[in-house]
Amino acid sequence: MGFEYAMIAVLFGLSTGFIGRAKGSSFFIWFMVGAVLPLLGLIAVIAYRSEKAEPERQCPNCRKVVKLYVQVCPRCGTDLFLPDPSEVRQPAGR
């Protein structure tokens, strides 16, 4: 019984880790999540949004590149409103 549970935890850990890594995150962190929370971890990594897939734009004040959902520039504190579509960078490969 314990052995079977360990097998399931490892299998879920591996698949969760591979999905996490494919999304640009850490294999090890997602392996742990998948092993500790077998089904929930897998659902979480599937729902997890890859940072690399987020559109980006530049802060108009200090030119720092930030994700589109960032509302205040982390470098200079400027309020960032929805930018002109021409300023939004779509990541390559989508």
Distance in angstroms (rounded) separating the CA atoms of residues 4 and 68? 44
Q: Nearest approach, Cβ of 89 to Zn ion (angstroms)?
A: 16
Our CB check for Zn ion shows the closer of 8 and 62 to be 62
Q: Is 38 helix (H, G, I), strand (E, B) or coil?
A: helix
CB of 59 to Zn ion, least distance (A): 3
Tokens of 1: 């019984």
Is 78 near Zn ion (CB under 5 A)?
Answer: yes
Query: Contact between 75 and Zn ion (CB under 5 A)?
Result: yes
For the CB of residue 50, give the shortest distance to Zn ion in the complex, in Å: 24
Evaluate the CA torsion angle 45, 46, 52, 56 in order and state its sign.
negative
Round to whole Å and give the CA distance between 25 and 60.
29
* Contact set for Zn ion, span 42-71 (CB under 5 A): 59, 61-62, 64
Binding site for Zn ion (CB under 5 A): 59, 61-62, 64, 73, 75-76, 78
